[in-house]
Structure 1
Amino acid sequence: MTNNTSTDILNDVLETLIDSAHGYEKAAEIADRTTFKNFFSRRAAARRAMASAVRNEIMQHGDTPESDGTILASAHRVFMGLSAALQDNDEAAIEAVESGEEYLRMKFERALERDELPPSAKTLLRNYQGELKADGRLIDHLEDATS
């Protein structure tokens, strides 16, 4: 990349995308309805694809991408596991991914505000912002369906 700061920024986004994929996988496990399980599984696959694209962007510039999610996300996954043990249902799954999606959108916005990112990285992240917003709206609809 153009500098270590841009690599750090993209690795931060990458870690959050990995965390998001793990979160969706867990949500698919705890959801009751097949339609919700399928939705969460598709979103996990989409997050993995986004992570792969960000990973490739980092490698194209000769840098090393992160290989797994954050320590904070590991703690969040443990919490989700405990929550799921107490409350295996659609509402718990939706609640878990909803907070994760908001965090991911914030990460993208913060990264795009940084001048250190090269244009190719900004274009990549901007291309995914629409998908993130659409996912947020879909999750809102799922939440309404469980109310």
Structure 2
Amino acid sequence: MTNDKSISILNDVLETLVDSRDGYQKAAEVADREVFKQFFTHRAAARNAMIAKAQAEIRYLGGEPAEEGTILAKAHRMFLSISSALEGNDEAAVEAVENGEEYLRNKVNDALANEELATTAKALLSGFNGELRADGRLLDHLEASV
């Protein structure tokens, strides 16, 4: 098991976390109802905390975190394209965020399935996985109120 593989995996997840944060920020900007704006703003802050933890783990493993905003060829920039799907429509905002969150959950699950992932990185991503599942339940509840 090498740290290089774990660093690469974590940087891949980090890029998607940045996209998630950016998507939540955009959704907060375009949402109509205050409850949606608050929810999206809160989730963006939660993603910032996850980003900081991922960056710290990458540094702990001896790597350099991917630069925020850097577009790498393999990065999937789902969240950055949601502005075209959102036009002051709460339902569209929730749906776009849900799609992005599903992508992020799959990315984390794929990372956790990698046998070369360092134990500390696996523990970090397992914690993220729990938070992402809880976010999914919150989004389901939010969607039901649209």
Q: TM-score normalized by structure 1?
A: 0.90
Secondary structure of the corresponding residue to residue 26 of structure 1: helix
Residues 114-141 of structure 1: per-residue CA shift (max 9 Å, x gap): 1111101101111121110010011111
For residue 76 of structure 1, report the CA deviation from its aligned partner.
4.7
Q: Which of structure 1's runs of 4+ aligned residues deviate more than 4 A?
A: none
What are the residue-to-residue correspondences of 1:1-147 with 2, within 5 Å? 2-69=2-69, 70=71, 72-73=76-77, 76-77=79-80, 79-84=81-86, 87-146=87-146
Distance 1:13 1:104 in 2: 8
**Which structure has more helix as a fraction of its residues?**
1
- The alignment's C-alpha RMSD in Å is 1.6
Structure 2: how far apart are the matches of 1:5 and 1:62?
11
TM-score for the superposition, normalised by structure 2: 0.90
Question: In the aligned structure 2, how far is the partner of 1:58 from the partner of 1:47?
Answer: 16
Amino acid at match of 2:94: I
Provide structure 2 residue ranges, at least 5 long, that are not aligned to the other structure: none
Question: Tell me, which stretches of 5 or more residues in structure 1 are unaligned?
Answer: none
How much does 1:61 deviate?
Answer: 1.7
Identity over the aligned pairs, expressed in percent?
54
